[in-house]
Amino acid sequence: MTALPRSMETPAIRIAWAGPLFMLFARFLFALLFQGLTTIFLSLRGDATPLQSAAPWWTVYGSLIDIACLISITFLLHGEGLKISALIDFKRKFFWRDIRMALLLVFIFLVVGVIGGRLTGILIYDGPPPAAMGALPLWGALYSLIIWPALWGFTEQLTYQGYVLPRLQSLSRSTWLTVLILGFGYAFQHTALPLIFDWKFILFRFLSSLPFIIMFPVYLRTKRLAPFMIAHWVTDALSVAAAIFMH
């Protein structure tokens, strides 16, 4: 089994299943919560179809998902006697190596995303799938392009790889079981980004996200979280830019 991070090597720290399992599905749960609140807000403003209207805003209220996850992780780490800084590995001496690694990861993420999305679209829709990112007013589009990708990439990687992965690995004592569980949780999250009550769209979001399971064994080989955060940020920013351009 791969060695645990230094932050978890102290014998006094006891890791329970509850924290990692909660965080495995926390982003899905918080996505439901904030899409629900956005739907209520739009309904109170007189929107005739508030649930459908709330869906494109997930890259805006997505930052609330991130904040809720960071608060949850901070609380759980406090029970271990740790601070959230224990999970963050930005270091000046690794700066250029991390940048080179991030550029490679951007290429991998784009290839996996495009191929996985198109093949899944053909499988489920017999053609191009519906877009997961909808049209937003200018301020919403700019927020989604500038702010959302940075916070989303940082928090998602911190959640799954920084917090959940080493703890599930320690508890299960199986690297590959951990990777499979993480892959399921990661893909399941995307079924609520956004949640649309259409089985084809839900299945598409789940299956098209599954190929990204590749990031977990790669991370276990590199043990560097920073490049994944940077690559995730860049990839999501490019995805938003493409969605804006297409509209």
Q: What is the pLDDT along the chain (247 residues), one digit of tens a residue?
A: 334 444 444 333 567 899 999 999 999 999 999 999 999 999 999 999 999 999 999 999 999 999 999 999 999 999 999 999 999 999 889 999 999 999 999 999 999 999 999 999 999 999 988 888 878 999 999 999 999 999 999 999 999 999 999 999 999 999 999 999 999 999 999 999 999 999 999 999 999 999 999 999 999 999 999 999 999 999 999 999 998 877 6
HSE (side-chain half, CA atoms, 13 Å) at 244: 18
The candidate with the shortest Cα–Cα distance to 35, out of 134, 168, 137, is 134
Query: Which amino acid belongs to residue 237?
Result: A
Q: Taking the CB of residue 89, how many other CB atoms lie within 10 A of it?
A: 16
Other C-beta atoms lying within 10 Å of the C-beta of residue 59: 26
